[in-house]
A and B are shown apart, each in its own frame.
Chain A
Amino acid sequence: MAAPVSVHLEFGGGAELLFDGVKEHHVTLPSQPEPWGMRQLLVWIQRNLLKERPELFVQGDSVRPGILVLINDADWELMGELDYQLQDQDNVVFISTLHGG
């Protein structure tokens, strides 16, 4: 049983529009049998935070191409992407890089 994890989520570059325009979310992920990874976090976000048009945020079990993910300010591609295991007080940022003019 994994302990609950508090993470700080941030949405930017227009991604916040899918979350009622709210950029920052402090959330506590409840205790669950397996540890919290990015994969589970995305599912949790979809179920609990995403207000509309999930296809504009997720694609398959990952984020939609064009959305940059930073875990503690590091590109998530370098952190194992979906397999990254969240630590308490992690900072996860989702920035949409689509149509930036």
Chain B
Amino acid sequence: MFLFFISELKDAVRVRHSCPLFVKCLQKMCQMQRGAGSSSDPCRRPLLQVRPTWEVGAPPCSFFNESRTGSGSCCLSVRSCFREYFTHKFRAMLGKTRLIFPGEKVLLAVSGGPSSSAMLSQVQQGLGQSAQKKLRFLPGLVHIDEGGALGLSLGERQRLVSELKAIFQTSGFPFHVIPLEQVLDLPTSAVNTTPPSSDRAPDCYKAAGDGGELQQGGALAEPSVHEAQTRSLQQLLGSATTLTAKEELLRTLRQHLLVHEARTRGYSKLLLGESCTRLAVRLLTCVSLGRGAHLAQDTGFSDCRFGDVTFVRPMREFSAKEIAVYNHMFRVPTVVIPSLETKTLEKASIQRLSESFVSRLQQDFPSTVSTIYRTSEKLQTAGGGCCEEDGRCLLCLCSLDTAAGKASALQARLISEQLCCQKPAGTVKVEPSPPAGPCCSSADGECGSAAGGAVCCSSEAPEKKDLQKLLCYSCQLTLRDMSSVAHLPQYILTEAQRRKRRSLMKDEISEFLLEEEEGSS
């Protein structure tokens, strides 16, 4: 009854040709179709000719629509076949990497959207399986209520949260619903990499957590939201002058809060429900945003930039379409949570533009997503290892990519910024070691058009300049689109101060060491 998307299955076959279960599954479907093929019943008319490029070795066959015959036997087997296929793919993803060990506490980030809801449904199923197939980790759920950032009314937020809680409650897992406002009160540890040491990490964070006691299947002490906090959050996001920057900022804050939650509750893995389609969009976005150096971390199966908490993306082999059909077929409850992008125009932001680009291309070239996806799989992180904190971006915690050579995009951007800030009549000087201060963002005043064009460069707030030095190229671009840094959460500003002091101290020491060396030799 349910039909598959040939191109995607074809890809899946290519990828998992060696997987016996999947091949069996496809063969079963083909058999079933062949058996019904000769029927003269008009309701059993063939709906689909499998294209000859089908690679399992089965001859072209077709699926049949039984929805109107009511007999349902065929329908049932295709349904169970699809479920088997879906579950198999999910389990294979978790299994082949052996990333999650038995008994490990694993936190599922559930937005309520289709992909993370399907992930929750899969985990629920996996824990209910017979002993042999059972998933062996201890799941917990976390949802970040971003209503404040989106300017939703309190009533609307409560409605969405209670819808989600109803879903969470039926799962029986412990869950945490956290308002994004909490990000304002994070400790500086949220932007630091903590080495993964199994015996140490949970303890030192327990003190910071509010009532970290786990009770099976219930909500934990819920932090309330104060209006003032919501206002500061909105001010913070409001200081981002473009939707692109706003989305990146929101993503960063969400990440910090998720990591902090996982740490304080003693979870060492955080499962994100990003689908293959989502990641293809993210990949293109990353490239456009100058995050090329961080592609592997932003879109890979696992991401250990935070050290003690590893991000895992078990849904990354599912396309948005497969997920939508799965949810529809098995009535997986989802909640439609508005986002910054909801109902915006296609060109509103880079993220939005990438999404419509991918979905349009996918329409005409069905293997677009899997091609992009496989590209991302081939990428290897150059500096994936743990480097010291000074070498990491303060916001996204990726290793700094700003030490690039003179011909880099970063240098080019800085030079062109300088050029545009020169007095029009004066001679143009290019200084090779420019300050990292941006200038021409519209919020900072009319650069170039005003008589004193150069003024705008120096009027840049010193805090912003200092902060720029601690960021990777892409986060610098985000910061550049912010009118002020004053609304940034305290933990970021404090950590920035600390790092600045540290680097100053380092400079002083190195000077001292040099002098001594010269004196002694």
Contacts and interface: CB of A to CB of B under 8 A. Distances in A.
A97 B324 contact: yes
A81 B421 CA distance: 55
A66 B356 contact: yes
A47 interface: no
B11 to A, nearest CB: 15
A98 B355 contact: yes
Contacts of A14: 336, 342
B362 A95 contact: no
Contact of B324 (A16, A74, A77, A100): A100
A66 B3 contact: no
B: contact size bracket: 35 or more
Contacts of B3: 73-75, 78
Contacts of B114: 13, 97, 100
Contacts of B268: none
Interface string A39-54: 0000000000000110
B4 interface: yes
B273 interface: yes
Interface in B439-498: none
A96 to B, nearest CB: 8
B145 interface: no
Contacts of A98: 320, 355, 359
Given A13-B324, A101-B274, A74 B1 contact: yes
Given A74-B47, A97-B323, A101-B273, A17 B336 contact: yes
A40 to B, nearest CB: 21
Interface residues of A, number: 28
B356 A65 contact: yes
Contact of A74 (B2, B327, B345): B2
B334 interface: yes
A16 B336 contact: yes
B325 A65 contact: no
Given A14-B342, A78-B48, A95-B324, A66 B359 contact: yes
A62 B147 CA distance: 33
Interface in A69-98: 70, 72-75, 77-79, 91, 93, 95, 97-98
Contacts of A65: 356, 359-360, 362-363
A100 B278 contact: yes
Interface string B329-344: 1000010101101110
Contacts of A95: 324, 328
A68 B334 CA distance: 16
Given A65-B359, A95-B324, A101-B278, A56 B65 contact: no
A37 B339 CA distance: 34
B4 A101 contact: no
Nearest to B115: A100
Contacts of A79: 47
Among the interface residues B47, B277, B324, which one has the most CB atoms of the partner chain A within 10 A? Answer: B324
Contacts of B359: 65-66, 97-98
Contacts of B324: 12-13, 68, 95, 97, 100
Interface of B: 1-6, 47-48, 63, 65, 67-68, 111, 113-116, 273-275, 277-278, 320-321, 323-325, 327-329, 334, 336, 338-339, 341-343, 345, 355-356, 359-360, 362-363
Given A12-B324, A73-B67, 19 more contacts: A13-B336, A14-B336, A17-B336, A17-B338, A65-B356, A66-B320, A72-B67, A74-B48, A77-B5, A78-B48, A93-B328, A99-B341, A99-B355, A100-B323, A101-B111, A101-B113, A101-B115, A101-B278, A101-B339
13 contacts: A13-B114, A52-B343, A68-B325, A73-B2, A74-B65, A75-B325, A79-B47, A97-B277, A99-B278, A100-B278, A100-B320, A101-B111, A101-B274
